[in-house]
Structure 1
Amino acid sequence: MTSDTPRSLSLAALTSMVVGSMIGAGIFSLPRTFANATGPVGAIIAWCIAGAGMYTLARVFQALAERKPELDAGIFAYAKAGFGDYAGFLSAFGYWLVACIADVSYWVLIKSTLGAFLPFFGNSDTVPAVLVSSLGLWLFHFTILRGIREAAVINTVVTVAKVVPILVFIVILISAFNADFFAANLWDAEPVSPGGLFQQIRATMLITVFVFIGIEGASVYSRYAQKRSDVGAATILGFVGVLCLLVLVTLLPYAVLARTEIAAMRQPSMASVLESLVGPWGGIFVSIGLIVSVLGAYLAWSLICVEVLFAAAKSGDMPKIFASENRHKVPAAALWLTNIVIQLFLISTLFSEDAFVLMVKLSSAMILVPYLLVAAYGLLLAMRHETYDTRPQERSRDLIVASIATLYAAFMIYAGGLKFLLLSSILYAPGTLLFVQVRREQNKPVLVGAEWIVFAAAAAGCLFGIYGVATGQIAI
């Protein structure tokens, strides 16, 4: 971190970055997504798994923020410190791509929502939809060019605005709570989706990962924090608040409607549930909240995209050009590359059957690699007793927490399935070209030791993935 980095973000601002990053499109689709897969029992178990896993991951972020304050470049810095330069690069590159894909999914969902009122938007797969999304993309681009701090202030305001309709939804459903409906759904033995309870729970795993993406938002912006301790506190506060909202939005519909009825609703299903209770205004109200929420999440992730590229370039993990800033101290080159890539993804939605579902699941699968590396680094520190000269009594606790977080991330990769692991490799492997450029700038060998094994695995996954897509064995 340079000495002139402005430490302007308070605990409240950092917490809003976490909440703003996590609350986006996913929460508005939870009722139908869960009802399609399982009932209240399965949903409760799924959120217990996701909550426990993500809580341990949040605690790892908190511990690393306190014990490794010099690693303030963000999530990828931990992968580099623990597992080498190439692992750090893959973590940074993958995380950046996840942010780009998430931003595309937000534009897709906005146009799909508006398509219910403006048919020429279709399912966000029409030329007018792409043109309007592109206009919005570049409007945000020039807003961010004016300054990171100004954009962070907008994010705080939008975060407050988008939580309001979610709270209204929760209050109305609590007031309409019907214990008989909930009991009937609780003990309904006929599953909406095939398979036993484990398969039903597994079917919800990628969406639980998607709605938690952004838990590391404060860590990404740690170099702007007024106090280093605020980074960990903001992560935990944001996580607990969002988890409560997610669980309530998932479970309360089971207390007002039959599960099969919820499963048949159109997306965004939160709007459909409220409309069934209070009439058309409920659907319109939630739809407006969704658009505000998604725009807010888009802004938050745009900032994260830029910050990841900039921080990686500053630490020598991305080409030097991405470390350049304009007169407003905004990493302009990183912002331009990010939005050009997002623009290309937007154009590609014209040729995709269901771009939103694909991008949600792909971004969820890709984010698990950086998360796994962070958790494993926390575990490595505890096993080595590194940094535990101070407060050594915390080592046993941190060892257990990091072990659970590592197992959780590995289980999520398994739950996501081979398809998305191979699709992730298609994006990860070519990114090595940027790493080649970095090593040339530094006059260092491209890969050393075990890094060749990692590259070989990524390249093999890429080739198998391309073959699967080309032959139709992997549907996109």
Structure 2
Amino acid sequence: MSTPSIVSAPPSRERTPAVSGTWAPLRQRLSLGALTSLVIGSMIGSGVFSLPQNMAAGAGAGAILIGWGITALGMLSLAMMFLQLAQAAPGVTGGVYGYARAGFGDFVGFQSAWGYWLSALIGNAGYLVVIVAAVSNLLPAAGLGAGDTAVGVAAASVLLWGYNALALRGVRTAAAVNTLVTLSKLVPLLMFVVLVGVAFKAPTFSLSMWGDAKLGPVFDQVRSTMLVTVWAFIGIEGASVFSARARSAGDVGRATMLGFGATFLLYMAITLLSLGVVPQAELAQMANPSMAGVLQKVVGPWGAVLVNIGLLVSVGGAMLAWTMLAAEVPYSAAKEEVFPGGFGGENRRQAPAAALWWSNGIVQAVLLLSLLAGNAYLALIKLATSTILLPYLVCALFALRRGAGSRALLLTGAVATVYSAWLVYAAGPVYLLLTALVYVPGLAVHALARRRRGLPVYAGAGEQVVAVLLLAAAFVTLWLIAGGVLDLQKL
């Protein structure tokens, strides 16, 4: 099948199916509210509950303000990019994968889909670990451990297949449950903002405005805050991933902007208000989820209980959103004949059944492997973050290229490209090397899909060079691990 065409005409205003190619008609369509809930639900997971400590650990209040300003510009550029691409290229479905393929061909499209997919699966394993850990905190007698013990992994596995069963009931059913859970998770977060806002004291906020010698120069402080925000905003593309199931192509962009705006304001309020209740130095040493410690200082022990319950609901909801997102990417790619066709299998409810079974089978394997990591949650989340950055960068480059006929898209694409490139740099060399290990198995899957279509594995020398570089990076990574230079226990 040829690369989806890109048309410049705006999409129809009312209930225009955002479907291209030879996709079969989809009965289960998602409304603007459902799409917005997917964006918010996929972004707000576990990270928000640790934001106060994570930000204070590397920066003073002044640097945090600057960091949020830069993040606002960068993430707004990404949100605007997905909005403008939805308008400029309504015939392209699949979000991150679709834009990469439309701009740079099957190979880059496949690699973007593969990286995004595995990033989601690795992140899902991290979510399951933290869900079990949260239950263990609330119910110590359950004996589940920290979430990355053998008992904890067993409990996480039961949860995993429960989510799989729910997602198999159909995208619209799962999206309705996600909307309910998203609304539920916002209640404790908004309560935190109100209660901590009432207790806010300006002198406490300004006590360590620019940090101390331990935190280093302001530039380094700002950089540390931006690293924290990367994971917090992953999921901003959630609506575009489901573009083929949207009731209206225009809803995709609107849901992206609504979800980003609401989430950004919430994140910033939680971070900055906490610094007005607990001094930066004390907040930096607080145990996570640090929101619990902050609220406990304001209202007493019940505040910590409220936050822990909110954490459980939030991560549980994010896990559902990402279970759906993770399956939709290989499903969409299979429909466009970039992934092997087996991933495109549906059940009678039009749920992407084959992709769900494959996806959650891999999550199960990652859970078992997490027993080898010293801090499974942090290691999984950092690897998931670095894996998804390259697809973001490719999307931004597509927007830059597509912007030749639109000044607005050209400007947005330029800012998004610079920001995405900065995030790749900020991720650091260690996790980028580990990312190569994630991408290399995709070379074999890509080759299989191309051969089954009777096509050569690579369309040109450039694709072969990229494949060789990936293999070389993976070899170097394995060599460093074998030599003890990279210690997986210390990630």
Given the two structures, how large is their TM-score scaled by the length of structure 2? 0.92
Which residue in 2 is equivalent to 1:407? 418
Amino acid at match of 2:486: I
CA distances 1:154-212 after superposition (whole Å, capped 9, x unpaired): 0000000001101000001110011110121325x41554x322222222333211111
Identity in percent: 41
1: distance between equivalents of 2:56 and 2:79?
28
How far has the Cα of 1:46 moved from its partner?
1.3
Which residue in 2 is equivalent to 1:190? 212
Which residue in 2 is equivalent to 1:95? 116
1: distance between equivalents of 2:71 and 2:416?
10
Which residue in 1 is equivalent to 2:6? none
Aligned alpha-carbon RMSD (Å): 1.3
CA distances 1:67-105 after superposition (whole Å, capped 9, x unpaired): 111101221111111111110000000000011011111
Please identify, of 200-209 and 164-173, the stretch whose mean Cα deviation from structure 2 is larger.
200-209
2: distance between equivalents of 1:191 and 1:154?
48
Which 4+ residue blocks in structure 1 deviate beyond 4 angstroms? none
Secondary structure of the equivalent of 1:204? helix
2:151 to 128, 131, 141: 128
1:230 to 239, 247, 251: 251
CA distances 1:360-382 after superposition (whole Å, capped 9, x unpaired): 21111111111101110010011
How far has the Cα of 1:8 moved from its partner?
2.1
Secondary structure of the equivalent of 1:296? helix
Counterparts of 1:193-208 in structure 2 under 5 Å?
193=215, 195-208=216-229
Amino acid at match of 2:485: Q
2: distance between equivalents of 1:238 and 1:475?
38
How far has the Cα of 1:256 moved from its partner?
0.7
Counterparts of 1:240-255 in structure 2 under 5 Å?
240-255=261-276
Which residue in 2 is equivalent to 1:334? 355
CA distances 1:203-261 after superposition (whole Å, capped 9, x unpaired): 23332111111000100111111111111011011101100011111111110111111
1:105 to 103, 126, 148: 126
2: distance between equivalents of 1:59 and 1:258?
35
Which residue in 1 is equivalent to 2:326? 305
2: distance between equivalents of 1:434 and 1:348?
22
Which residue in 1 is equivalent to 2:8? none
Closer, same or farther: CA 192–108 of 1 in aligned 2, 3 Å: farther
1: distance between equivalents of 2:474 and 2:150?
30
Q: Determine if contact 2:145/2:151 at 8 Å carries over to the other structure.
A: no
1:440 to 439, 447, 451: 451
2:56 to 35, 38, 42: 35
Which residue in 2 is equivalent to 1:428? 439
Q: Determine if contact 2:74/2:415 at 8 Å carries over to the other structure.
A: yes
Counterparts of 1:309-458 in structure 2 under 5 Å?
309-383=330-404, 385=405, 395-447=406-458, 448-458=460-470
Which residue in 2 is equivalent to 1:292? 313
How far has the Cα of 1:59 moved from its partner?
0.9
Q: Determine if contact 2:237/2:256 at 8 Å carries over to the other structure.
A: yes
Q: Determine if contact 1:429/1:462 at 8 Å carries over to the other structure.
A: yes
Counterparts of 1:142-157 in structure 2 under 5 Å?
142-157=165-180
Corresponding residue pairs, total: 464
Which residue in 1 is equivalent to 2:479? 467
Counterparts of 1:19-30 in structure 2 under 5 Å?
19-30=40-51
Which residue in 1 is equivalent to 2:297? 276
Matched, 1:8 2:29: yes
Given the two structures, how large is their TM-score scaled by the length of structure 1? 0.95
Amino acid at match of 1:471: G
How far has the Cα of 1:288 moved from its partner?
0.4
1: distance between equivalents of 2:177 and 2:277?
36
1: distance between equivalents of 2:72 and 2:477?
31
CA distances 1:267-286 after superposition (whole Å, capped 9, x unpaired): 11111111122111101101
Secondary structure of the equivalent of 2:457? coil
Matched, 1:73 2:85: no
Amino acid at match of 2:477: G
Matched, 1:179 2:179: no
Which residue in 1 is equivalent to 2:12? none
Q: Determine if contact 2:28/2:171 at 8 Å carries over to the other structure.
A: no
Q: Determine if contact 1:206/1:364 at 8 Å carries over to the other structure.
A: no
Amino acid at match of 2:73: A
Q: Which residues of structure 2 form unaligned runs of 5+? A: 1-18
How far has the Cα of 1:112 moved from its partner?
2.2
1: distance between equivalents of 2:60 and 2:131?
28
CA distances 1:367-416 after superposition (whole Å, capped 9, x unpaired): 11111011100100113x2xxxxxxxxx2222111101001000111111
How far has the Cα of 1:459 moved from its partner?
1.3
Q: Determine if contact 2:26/2:350 at 8 Å carries over to the other structure.
A: no
Which residue in 2 is equivalent to 1:390? none
Q: Determine if contact 2:133/2:144 at 8 Å carries over to the other structure.
A: yes
Amino acid at match of 2:203: D
Amino acid at match of 2:457: V
Please identify, of 124-133 and 171-180, the stretch whose mean Cα deviation from structure 2 is larger.
124-133
Which residue in 1 is equivalent to 2:10? none
Q: Which residues of structure 1 form unaligned runs of 5+? A: 386-394
2: distance between equivalents of 1:58 and 1:162?
22
Secondary structure of the equivalent of 2:206? helix
Amino acid at match of 2:343: F
1: distance between equivalents of 2:96 and 2:87?
14
Secondary structure of the equivalent of 1:138? helix
Q: Determine if contact 2:126/2:376 at 8 Å carries over to the other structure.
A: yes
Amino acid at match of 1:36: A
1: distance between equivalents of 2:482 and 2:70?
36
How far has the Cα of 1:57 moved from its partner?
1.0
Q: Determine if contact 2:28/2:172 at 8 Å carries over to the other structure.
A: no
1: distance between equivalents of 2:407 and 2:25?
37
